[in-house]
Structure 1
């Protein structure tokens, strides 16, 4: 790294963080959110079209990017695009909550995310997450050659380490308890024992005789114990073949 390159780098860094390149947010003007993802990272650029020098000029309000997590590396291209739409909305919530904005992406899946009929578990969770923006957000698909801002951000992401100003401590994933259902096989011997116990029970034998033949024999009814007699009189017993 030569002194000339260091000066050029510092000059570019200063230019990117000062007006007129970095616009002051105008809350009365809609936003444009450019998003892009690649195999290494995710990037987003939030723009507005403001009047500068008597003519409409589009410029950045802020830019964000991050590296993908190991678990996200397995996602396909469509899932990756949808993932960073959700991440960008979460990160830029204070800009976009209640604001009208347009999402510009070269991923078709992002455009169809809101109206996906049979989403998988990831897409369903993300679909729910962006519902609060539904009335103010328009998703537009455009070719990738206009995404040089967000494309560059996604390809040159910084590692999420404590030595950078944008460091975000990783949260431990919540422990989700798993409910277990135990299924026990009951052999025929058990049901035979239950069947024999009914035959040996005096109340069951009497009730079977009364209900099977619709018998009204008072002698049999009086032979029941008080609890069964009361329940029989109230019609609580039924015989099913």
Structure 2
């Protein structure tokens, strides 16, 4: 078993190689099936974390880019093409699990789990932002990988579209929060709704801006089984 985040010797892509440069360089090094992994919803204070893995296997997707730089309509079109033609898998981590296990631990574990559900085993893994230890194939973390690596950008699109659809469905259950608009991120409108209505079961109680709304006369209530993440929900990065 090969583990770690070792860069293959002599197969580093050129700076001007474009979004497919990493995959071309790895293919020259004998790594034909490169999986990109990314997540959506890490900074939200409500809703799930969604992790996706994509193997393009030589597929070129015109207009592919970091999902946060695309319009919703363009993301949907790319999602349709990627899921029809590439090898892909997606994993949804509920907010309750994020509270119980912790955000970062859930993120890393989710990346390992989603890779195991691919129908084709990758020969190399590229992750966005941080490394994932314990993989059975070599891997490399790429800073801002969703803007630099095609398979990571594809994973970001699959994760983002999947999560946006989930948040639209949750809007039908909890319309008072406006989930269909802000997707669970800490916008002023969301914080105003949270102040008025308090949190719902889809909120992340390990985030301080949610926990601040769960109080009795003595202060903030700690929920059973919740880790003390002290996270603060962030703005949507789209």
The structure whose Rg is larger is: 1
TM-score norm. by structure 1 comes to: 0.24
Which structure carries more relative contact order (alpha carbon 8 Å, separation 6+)? 2
